[in-house]
Amino acid sequence: MASVCRDDNGLKRVQFSDLAGERRTIRLGKVRAKSAETFARRVEELLEDLRLGNPHAQDLTEWVSELDATYYDRLAAVGLVKPREHTRATTLGGLFEAFFGGVSVKPATLIRMRQAESALLEVFGKGREVATIGETDAEDWRTHLRERGYAQATISRTVLYARQIFRWAVRRKLAPSNPFADLKAGSQANPSRAMFIDRATIAKVIDAAPDAEWRLLIALSRFGGLRIPSEGLGLRWTDVDWENSRLTVRSPKTEHHEGHGERMIPLFPEVREHLQMVFEQAPDGAEFVISRYRTGCNLNPQLRRIIQRAGLTPWEKTWHNLRASRQTELAASYPLHTVCSWIGNTKAIAAGHYLQVTDADWKRATEASLGTPGGAKSGALVAQKAAQRVATSKLTEPRESLQSSADTTLASPDASWRGLAKQSEWALPDLNREHPHFQCGALPLS
């Protein structure tokens, strides 16, 4: 069993007995107690796998691969891991080969990381030495992405992945520094692609769906707020609590965050209706709720075809806008922290990528401004007509009388700007005669 020891000067070390029974020590230096305990636990796992001849678990393999070279070499020195081949990746191509050879991420994340790789190689090339890429080069690279017509959200995401890859390289001493560390990524939100899908629209789409499972998938996204395909295809019949009208949703996207691997949502009536239909058609002993479209089916183009079949034009971010529409809808009736708990995101993410201002919001705001439905419209019309009547009555007075009044005023030896303004009310209908400038007999010059 590995144990953590602390020296008088605060330095820590891990001690254990190897397979031959010899006492071994790995010096950790000045680290937190929690970090030292984690290291000791990992040492025990490595020892057990060596003793039993078992392959390492994925999380243990990832932990070892991400270790700083100093600590990795100390594990190798006591026989717990094989020594690393210190072949320094000096080129960008070599860096990517090392990175993708050791990283373990979800398929969707891997696709986006590969897109960032392509964007970097397009500008710098595989043979570019990593050490020669500086902060100015990074800024020029981002400018290139903008000139190529990349959307701001795509540029932001690509910059963040470049920053992550180079941070990984610096930790393993494959790069001297991270030129993307201080490069501003910008917002990943793209409001131009956001669209609120109202109930009338989604009803047409559901009616055009080919079968009950497709209707349920659409309802799960639009009315349940589930991520499709990951959360929808992962739904099991054991996750359905019919009695309490609740649904347990497991999220591969957030499972790496402690305590966020699953959430519970209400079994909304709009979802329950279609879930009941699929349940009645499911074979005995079925495990997953969605069984027909689990593999070999790209749900996004399929949904776009269904939307076209409904006589509608497919919108951008096809599935995401359904989920965002549901969060916007729920946020109008429930506290945001409750809605975020059901949807499975944070308030910051909801504000930046999900919540939208709908036509109903505008209508409700304008109707409430005068306290009665339609009050703003009728009030504006009344004010406009009253203003028109005043202006018309003033402008239609006989020109002779107006000219006469002006001539009389100007001919008087005591004439003043105050008298002119009084006789020419048609030209200054809104001046307040109680204004101090009237009292002193002078008009303001501006």
Residues 39-87 have pLDDT tens digits of: 999 999 999 999 888 888 988 988 988 887 788 888 988 889 888 765 4
Same domain, 103 and 57: no
Mean pLDDT taken over the chain: 81
Same domain, 288 and 150: no
Enclosing domain of residue 123: 92-188
Same domain, 214 and 301: yes
Same domain, 72 and 107: no
The whole-angstrom separation of Cα 161 and Cα 169 is 12
Same domain, 9 and 103: no
The pairing of beta strand 3-6 with beta strand 246-250: unpaired
pTM (2 decimals)? 0.51
* Structure confidence at residue 384 (pLDDT): 56
Task: Pick 34 or 361 by higher pLDDT.
Answer: 34
Task: Pick 267 or 377 by higher pLDDT.
Answer: 267
Question: Per-residue pLDDT tens for 228-279?
Answer: 998 999 999 999 999 999 999 998 877 655 456 789 999 999 999 999 999 9
Same domain, 310 and 351: yes
Is 93:120 a contact under the CB 8 Å cutoff?
A: no
Number of domains composing the chain: 4
* Structure confidence at residue 443 (pLDDT): 41
Question: Per-residue pLDDT tens for 139-165?
Answer: 999 999 999 988 888 899 999 999 999
Same domain, 156 and 219: no
The whole-angstrom separation of Cα 356 and Cα 191 is 9
Q: Tell whether 83 is covered by a domain.
A: no
Q: What is the mean predicted confidence (pLDDT) over 310-331?
A: 93
Confidence of residue 415 (pLDDT cuts 50, 70, 90): very low
Confidence of residue 386 (pLDDT cuts 50, 70, 90): low
* Structure confidence at residue 16 (pLDDT): 92
Kindly list the strands in the beta sheet with 3-6, ordered across the sheet, starting from the edge strand earlier in the chain: 3-6, 12-17, 23-29
Same domain, 238 and 141: no
Same domain, 228 and 286: yes
Same domain, 224 and 349: yes
